[in-house]
Amino acid sequence: MTDALKRFAGYAALITGGARGVGEATARRLASEGARVLIADIDPEAARKTAADIPGASFVVCDVSDTDQVETAVAHAVEHFGRLDVLVNNAFANTDDTPLVEDQPEDSWNRVIDICLTGAFRFARAAMPHLEASGRGAIVNIGSVNAEVDFDGHAYSAAKAGLASFTRTLAGHGGPRGVRVNQINPGTIHTRAWDGRERGIAELGRALYPLGRVGRPEDVANAVAFLASSDASWITGTTLRVDGGLLAVNQSFQMILSATDDEA
């Protein structure tokens, strides 16, 4: 990374769920451009390992469903770095759908909503005064294409749709305070959840994604870096799809239609 691309020199960023996957890739990307990064994650060993591998990074153990831990994490960032410029709400939870909605346990539904949506609210609430004080504050929420189209995961989809709405309302609240708020909706991302299923995920990419592959954590991290940077200084309240064209083109329909034409 050249000095000309060090957009985050002097910045401090806090990333929830930052120990692995998209969170880890985002921490690495922001740090590569000069940011000091605090990784907030529920897994202490993974957070410690990732932070140790990123120059200038620190970590804090945090469950985003615990208000005290959230406030402690934000306070730690401000105390450790002297400021807070960027918040990335990446932590999430998911649960399998039951065959019938009436069989869905309420506790599992509530936990997903609490982590994915209310957790982002908790962090935004705690961080907002410090982001305002920085004079260049930015929040980037990590949503999902599930917010827009049914891909199963009822609670997860509802939470991510709610997060998109919260992003817009928070942008209106944060704008006069100099804080921009945006969301990224990724498609399928090849994280450790797909380990051992490389053939399947490759086939998924070819079948459903116009760009011929599923996403990588770095694809999302690149978008986060843009939205958090001064390059996006006049962008707020928007949701950016990082989905390889999944929602723009009905790839499976076109393949079926093509096969039908071949048979004619």
Beta carbons of 87 and 13 less than 8 angstroms apart: yes
Among the listed residues 6, 49, 160, 209, the single catalytic one is 160
Distance CA 16, CA 166 (A): 17
Distance CA 227, CA 165 (A): 17
As a whole number of angstroms, the longest Cα–Cα distance in the chain is 69
Distance CA 232, CA 252 (A): 34
Residue 156 annotated to the active site: yes
Among the listed residues 11, 49, 156, 209, the single catalytic one is 156
Residue 6 annotated to the active site: no
Distance CA 64, CA 114 (A): 8
Provide the residue type at 144 as one letter.
Answer: S
Q: Which residue has the tokens 């954590």?
A: 217
CA Rg value for the chain: 19
Distance CA 223, CA 141 (A): 11
Residue ranges of alpha helices (H) inside the chain are 21-32, 44-52, 67-81, 106-113, 119-134, 154-174, 198-208, 217-228, 251-263
Phi, psi of 263 (to 5 degrees): -80, -20
- Positions annotated as catalytic residues are 156, 160
